[in-house]
């Protein structure tokens, strides 16, 4: 295996391993950016991921580039923003050109101050829906090899697949924990109903009504009250209680 091939293989392995032990999205995005610099031969790379629950999450090979992408998101400018909005790659643009200068009025001067003259972007997609973008920065006069942009898309796709797999696994774990908690609460409520039923000579349905009314009157969660009854902290149904 040649050295470039080895670098590419190592990049895919790194992306696959990033979320193995922890659901750390910024770590995955930073790994993608670092791998892009290593494999594609660009000056810097950044990744920004749109999160439904809040502000975009980002990672970059360089902190100044990370800051630029954060600003670009706020400005709604730059190849990363356009790529995320359309879900389509943004071909390499020469920042000195009239179209980028007119289109990205704040982005272009900031990129120039960091020493970059060319930018391109490819989307991160999960099930064909765009969720983010990988932005590539260069400072040389030569155009980016088209093959490098294709490889960049492959890296972005690998990261997106890893992200989707881990997100689904994390959601599954959360749902499992919620179901387990719900089942546990239900068991405790049934135990509390049995205790109240015995104390007050009521049916189970009547006992449940007593518990529910008590919880409402005392602004308690039914599951919390049931736990208190089972553990003896709430003496509902005892004489004088």
Q: How many residues does the chain have?
A: 241
User: Are 90 and 147 members of one domain?
Assistant: yes
User: Are 185 and 167 members of one domain?
Assistant: no
User: Are 155 and 188 members of one domain?
Assistant: no
User: Are 159 and 103 members of one domain?
Assistant: yes
Q: Residue 53: which pLDDT band, with cuts at 50, 70 and 90?
A: very low
User: Are 168 and 185 members of one domain?
Assistant: no
- pLDDT tens per residue across span 183-229: 778 888 889 898 988 888 889 988 889 899 989 988 988 888 888 88
216 within 8 A of 177, measured Cβ to Cβ: no
Within a domain: 239? no
pTM above 0.75, yes or no: no
CATH code, 196 = 1.10.10.10
Domain termination site, one of 151, 172, 193: 172
Matching residue, tokens 């155009």: 143
CA gap 110, 72 in Å, rounded: 9
50 within 8 A of 68, measured Cβ to Cβ: no
Within a domain: 237? no
Domain count for the chain = 2
> How is residue 155 written in tokens?
């890296």
- pLDDT tens per residue across span 81-128: 999 999 999 999 999 999 999 999 999 999 999 999 999 999 998 776
| Percent residues over pLDDT 90 in the chain | 36
CATH code, 135 = 3.30.450.40
User: Are 133 and 22 members of one domain?
Assistant: yes
Q: In what order do the strands lie in the sheet with 118-126?
A: 57-60, 44-49, 129-138, 118-126, 90-94
Q: What contacts 235, CB < 8 A, 6 or more positions away? A: 241
CA gap 186, 238 in Å, rounded: 23
| Percent residues over pLDDT 70 in the chain | 84
More confident residue, 20 or 2: 20
User: Are 144 and 167 members of one domain?
Assistant: yes
- For residue 198, give its domain range: 181-230
User: Are 202 and 136 members of one domain?
Assistant: no
Smallest CA-to-CA distance from 138 within 118, 120, 114 is with 118
């Amino acid at each position: 295996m040649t050295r470039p091939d080895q670098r590419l293989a190592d990049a895919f392995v790194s992306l696959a391993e990033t979320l193995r032990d922890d659901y750390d999205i910024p770590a995955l995005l930073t790994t993608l950016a670092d791998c892009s610099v290593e494999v594609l031969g660009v000056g810097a790379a950044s990744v920004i991921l749109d999160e439904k629950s809040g502000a975009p999450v980002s990672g970059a090979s360089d902190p100044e580039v990370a800051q630029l992408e954060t600003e670009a998101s706020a400005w709604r400018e730059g190849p990363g923003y356009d790529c995320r909005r359309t879900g389509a790659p943004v071909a390499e643009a020469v920042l000195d050109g009239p179209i980028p200068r007119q289109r990205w009025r704040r982005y272009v001067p900031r990129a120039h101050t960091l020493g970059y003259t060319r930018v391109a972007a490819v989307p991160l997609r999960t099930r064909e829906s765009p969720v983010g973008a990988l932005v590539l920065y260069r400072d040389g006069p030569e155009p980016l090899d088209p093959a490098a942009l294709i490889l960049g898309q492959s890296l972005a796709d690998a990261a997106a697949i890893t992200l989707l797999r881990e997100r689904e696994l994390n959601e599954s774990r959360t749902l499992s924990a919620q179901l387990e908690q719900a089942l546990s609460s239900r068991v405790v409520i049934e135990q509390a109903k049995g205790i109240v039923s015995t104390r007050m000579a009521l049916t189970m349905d009547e006992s449940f009504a007593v518990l529910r009314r008590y919880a409402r009157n005392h602004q308690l969660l039914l599951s919390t009250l049931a736990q208190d009854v089972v553990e003896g902290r709430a003496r509902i149904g005892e004489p004088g209680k």
